[in-house]
Amino acid sequence: MPFAFLDKDLLDKNISSLLNRAGDKKIRIATKSVRCTWTLRYILDHHPRLQGLMCYSVREAAWLATEGFDDLLVAYPAFHSEDIREIVPMLKRGKRIYLMVDLEDHLRQVNQVGREENVRIPVCLDLDMTSKFPGVYFGVYRSSVNNKEKADMFFKTLKKYPFVHCRALMGYEAQIAGLGDNVKGKGAMNAIIRNLKKRSVKEVALRRKEVVALGQRQGVEFEVVNAGGTGSLETSRQESWVTEVTVGSGFYASHLFDHYKAFKHLPAAGYAIEVVRNPQPDIYTCLGGGYVASGTPGKDKTPIPYLPEGCSFIENEMAGEVQTPLKHKGGKLELGSPVFMRHSKAGELCEHFNELVIVSNGEVVDSVPTYRGEGQCFL
């Protein structure tokens, strides 16, 4: 200890329920929420509908391509020519890789590299899926293309860039996929969020449909129309023009994804810290443990004690840099025994550990490297 673990049996169950939730849609795996090539292969091998990876950096996509992965959609833009150039050898070897774009500056940069390398570089338009309601910006700030008119302009602009090949569209409805609507003790807020989600679903579906049609009219042949994330499978799958949905967090099921009304996944991954002190009868202090997640700072970004049951944080300390004191009711914990914790965000767990200990039937069966364990750090 400390070590990170992945329970293969729970992962299997999560994969099955995610396949069910996605209906007949293909599922692209969001690598940011996995960050371990063993797990990526394990998931991809599970079912033919699990297909392709959504990467979070071009350097990562280039590395994964050399590791034998294919069909890589880089979901966030690359700007510098050196980064864009990374994927060119892989494209020339026949790998399917798409770069994300939404501004003409992106197109110009990609086109320049394509011209220098004499290759048409496949790109994906990122369509903003925010819903704007009176007084509420229901969504995230990512793409500049947030309506049909801008999308139409984008498709027209493409014609100026012969080394750019637009083959994909991605619309990530973060406000539906990534926002819990069943948070304990937040009844009124949950009701508001569920209502906003309901309204947003209709609106974003129409936007995606219209933009696909616009692109097709401008001669774009979409190989991929990507939608959603773990929290939106039930709605994203309903759009016939969507060819695939994305899932990342649902595989490990980190605790941010405990708070959705429509589904429950099982806590497949987490980490163990060791009890090293017992300053008061019911207080046990563990070594390490302070792996707080990114995003708006708040209690939902701290890890949570998982097993043994009955552990809770000390409000003034929470999960600490080198020590994590826990209150435990319900029996003595021995020095040297583990306390299992769950991370808030799935993939970030792997940034703190070189290995994932694979558990099955309550026993350790293997240990596999994370991205970090393979010496890879992208963001």
Ligand X SMILES: Cc1ncc(COP(=O)(O)O)c(C=O)c1O
Where along the sequence are the contacts to ligand X (CB under 6 A)?
A: 30, 33, 54, 75, 172, 177-178, 229-230, 246-250
SS3 283: strand
C-alpha angle with apex 164: 154 to 140, nearest 5 degrees?
A: 45
Nearer to ligand X, 83 or 126 (CB): 126
- Shortest CB 278 distance to ligand X, Å: 38
Query: 10 Å Cβ neighbour count for 105?
Result: 11
- R_g of the chain, CA atoms, integer Å: 22
Nearer to ligand X, 178 or 325 (CB): 178
Q: And the tokens for 204?
A: 């974003």
Nearer to ligand X, 171 or 325 (CB): 171
* DSSP percent split of the chain into helix, strand, coil, nearest 5: 35, 25, 40
- Shortest CB 75 distance to ligand X, Å: 4
DSSP 8-state secondary structure symbol assigned to residue 28: E
Nearer to ligand X, 61 or 75 (CB): 75
Which residues, 6+ apart, have CB-to-CB distance to 112 below 8 Å?
81, 163
- Shortest CB 245 distance to ligand X, Å: 9
- Shortest CB 254 distance to ligand X, Å: 9
In the chain, count of helices (H) and strands (E)? 11, 19
Residue the block writes with tokens 């049951």: 309
Nearer to ligand X, 74 or 286 (CB): 74
- Shortest CB 256 distance to ligand X, Å: 8
